[in-house]
Structure 1
Amino acid sequence: MSLDRDFIENLIIQDICGTITPSDKAVLKDAIDKNPELWLLQQEMMRKFQTPDVQEARRQLRESFNARDIIREERRRKRARNMRRAGAITAVVGVIAFFSVKYVSFHSSSEKVSAMIAAAGNKPRQVVLQLPDGETIALDTVEQKLNAGPIAISTHSNTLSYQSTNTNNRERATLIVPPGKDYTIHLNDGSEIHLNSGTRLIFPLQFLDDRREIIIDGEAYVKVARQPGKPFIVRLPEATIQVLGTEFNVNTYDIGVQRVALVNGAVKVKTKMDSLVLKPGMEAVTTDQGMKAGVFDASEVLAWREGKYYINDATLYEVSRVLTRWYGKTVVIDNKKAGQQRFTGMIDKTQPIEVTLDGLKLTNRIDYSTDKNGVIHIK
């Protein structure tokens, strides 16, 4: 069954707003179970609705104001930005509009939206490789070698390497790492990229031009193979990184925020407004307010590569987003007061999610439960 993008967006928004019918909810669940990209889209939209202000707006939202109304309102706002809706409707539409514009403007600039939604695997929560012709391959920890379209693929120990069978192939492939997973890819120029959970990489099968260019959305550790005279370009949603040979970490999990932490070598980070050359040990943080540079703690920033995540005075809203991304399980804050509590500590990915939740329960005076759909509720 092929589902139209507008239809899928409509179902996701109805689900978020609590107006979805049981039959439509079943259709949406089936589509998300088979498509890691749709799961990521749903989680990002849900994340935007886990702030206290937006949750309050949702409670005030009229039941008759359905998802189609929201989409129609957003399109009308694009045509006439001076038009405003009052009260809770404005708050909810504003959040959805902000998310959809950020998501579609970046991703559709490099791949057709239909191709993005089509990135699917028969097995849910699998690392997925999408080839230029639309074929998808579910990758796992089992070693395998196969020929797929224009490339010869080899996987071993959560690592992908490949060779193009066409010596003049400029087409691009997409690697999608769902929540709860991490994966490494060796590009054909010798560069290595370790992708964290909930991350997407778009890369050419061969670097044939005078520069090497990839796109990353999520978090990744990049080791660039040195090729003098052929710079390596990493495009983020709102920034560009240019390197010659180096190691650095990029993080674009928070919408509108890009973090680039340089381990060694040199990189130049550029946005529409600013440009900055980083030295080892420095981190650039870009937002719509500009770019700032500072020193970063490598033991914390890079801890995800060892299965650890350090939290420093973070709210439970922020913690819930990390848990959702790391374990691939939806975590919802049901109690506004609980969500505002703060937590400092470390999440160990090698331990079950219940270990962290029990720790939160002891130290932050909260409770949690899991419903029949596997959604974890913190209250």
Structure 2
Amino acid sequence: MKYTPELIQALIVSEMDNDITPDEKVLLSHILATDSDARRLYQEMHDVLNKPEAAAAMLQLDENVNSQLILDQLGHSKKSRYRKGFGVAVMAMALIGAFVLLNKHKKETIATNQILLSMDNGEVVNLERTDTAIQSGNLSLHNVNKTLKFNGGTGGIGSLSVPAGKFYNLVLSDGTTMMVNSVSKVRFPFQFSGKSREIWVDGEAYIEVAPDIKQPFIVHLPSSEVKVLGTSFNVNTFDGKENVSLITGKVRLVAGQDSVTLSPGKQVNIQTGTLAVSDFKQEQVLSWMKGIYVFDLATMEDVAKILPRWYGVTVVLDPAVRKKMFYGVIDRNQPVNEFLERLKSTEEIDYTLKGNIVTIK
């Protein structure tokens, strides 16, 4: 997917102002890992905005510049952003002004680094607060030991969002259990009804489905769906791919006009509309549930995709080391700098860690 220059610049400015969300960090890291023009812009903006005169200008804009002037600057920068001779400093100042304006009109929201439950009545529950029992109408929520259970709901849809660096457990109304990984979302009904039990997953989750022959269980992924009766499996939709790995039982995956039935120990990968079935290592696929991530001859590009989700950092990867192979483990409970030091000593790479920005070269 090609991202617009305006989006890339807005992400960079948000990061430099320490106002970037975990999801935005993941997106920015992905863009920098795959777009050489974005990496060049990232470095140019850091060079300009880190200068003392740029900091002074930012302060002056924040205090003195009126909204109309900021809008004028932004409009001018959009029209001529890539015109020959248009200085990086001018572009950066326009972006700073636009960023100040956007912040003044930003809606107040619950911090996006929290585990949130959103309901279709508009209510949002922060599941990291100390309350263990929460009442919403006739729905009783029980939030204990990073696990959400509920009862009494007669309808409605819930949406569970797990940010970078965290995980959460969910028990559905039929007894199906789920463990949801970082930077993942699950939509589910508070009470299953009809001929099937259906949920929606974007990210990664391990699911143990409660058996019910009369009411099949369906997991909707961005471009496919998994149909099961009673089984356990892992789904992963990170990085534009969809993987379903079957642990026990049997599942049938449907993607458009194609379908495939899996037996235990098999996984299907969906990419560019093609279904590919292969064996998988269970200890590797499910390692995230233990707070570790196992790499078996992965590229540094693959490693760079995991760090933002687990540590909430932005990764800038030098193209020269992108295809360098890595074998090892990331432990979520260890600081990111410990992993980077181990990486440096074993893989002949170097890195810098400044704030939440990791540069690997």
Letter in 2 for 1:135: E
Counterpart CA distance in 1 for 2:319 and 2:300 is: 10
Question: Are 2:14 and 1:13 aligned?
Answer: no
Indicate if the aligned counterparts of 2:8 and 2:38 stay in contact, CA closer than 8 A: no
Residue-pair matches, total = 304
When normalised by structure 1's length, the TM-score is 0.72
Question: Are 2:207 and 1:214 aligned?
Answer: no
Shift of 1:25: 6.5
Counterpart of 2:49?
Answer: none
Indicate if the aligned counterparts of 1:14 and 1:66 stay in contact, CA closer than 8 A: no
Shift of 1:232: 0.6
State how 1:224-243 maps to structure 2 within 5 Å. Answer: 224-243=209-228
Query: Deviation string for 1:219-264 (max 9, x for gaps)?
Result: 1000111112111110001110001111000011121x21101111
Larger Rg: 2
Question: Any idea what SS the aligned residue of 1:181 has?
Answer: coil
Counterpart CA distance in 2 for 1:327 and 1:58 is: 21
2:128 counterpart (134, 140, 146): 140
Distance 1:330 1:46, change over 3 A: closer
Counterpart of 2:36?
Answer: 55
Task: Output the aligned Cα RMSD.
Answer: 3.0
Counterpart CA distance in 1 for 2:32 and 2:75 is: 17
When normalised by structure 2's length, the TM-score is 0.76
Counterpart of 2:297?
Answer: 313
2:281 counterpart (288, 297, 310): 297
Query: Deviation string for 1:343-377 (max 9, x for gaps)?
Result: 111112222212210111112222222224x2222
Counterpart of 2:323?
Answer: 340
Counterpart of 2:258?
Answer: 274
Distance 1:41 1:269, change over 3 A: farther
Distance 1:58 1:68, change over 3 A: farther
Q: Which runs of 5+ in 2 are unaligned?
A: 46-73, 81-105
Query: Deviation string for 1:16-70 (max 9, x for gaps)?
Result: 5x6x5x8x964xx54x45xxxxx3255235303312xx21476389999999679
Counterpart CA distance in 2 for 1:68 and 1:238 is: 34
Counterpart of 2:116?
Answer: 128
Shift of 1:11: 6.2
Distance 1:59 1:354, change over 3 A: closer
Counterpart of 1:157?
Answer: 145
Question: Any idea what SS the aligned residue of 1:50 has?
Answer: helix
Counterpart CA distance in 2 for 1:355 and 1:342 is: 19
Distance 1:134 1:67, change over 3 A: farther
Counterpart of 2:87?
Answer: none
Question: Any idea what SS the aligned residue of 2:339 has?
Answer: helix
Letter in 2 for 1:332: V
Shift of 1:141: 7.6
Counterpart CA distance in 2 for 1:338 and 1:66 is: 38
Higher relative contact order (CA 8 A, sep 6+): 2
Shift of 1:15: 3.1
Question: Are 2:32 and 1:44 aligned?
Answer: no
Shift of 1:203: 0.6
Counterpart CA distance in 2 for 1:69 and 1:289 is: 37
Question: Any idea what SS the aligned residue of 1:189 has?
Answer: coil
Letter in 2 for 1:314: A
Distance 1:313 1:15, change over 3 A: farther
Shift of 1:336: 2.2
Identity of aligned residues (%): 33
Indicate if the aligned counterparts of 1:241 and 1:270 stay in contact, CA closer than 8 A: yes
Letter in 2 for 1:370: L
Query: Deviation string for 1:109-132 (max 9, x for gaps)?
Result: xxxxxxxx99x9634421111111
Indicate if the aligned counterparts of 1:246 and 1:265 stay in contact, CA closer than 8 A: yes
Distance 1:154 1:68, change over 3 A: farther
Question: Any idea what SS the aligned residue of 2:33 has?
Answer: coil
Question: Any idea what SS the aligned residue of 2:340 has?
Answer: helix
Counterpart of 1:369?
Answer: 352
Counterpart CA distance in 2 for 1:318 and 1:274 is: 28
Counterpart of 1:108?
Answer: none
Indicate if the aligned counterparts of 2:162 and 2:168 stay in contact, CA closer than 8 A: yes
Which has the larger displacement, 121-130 or 183-192?
A: 121-130
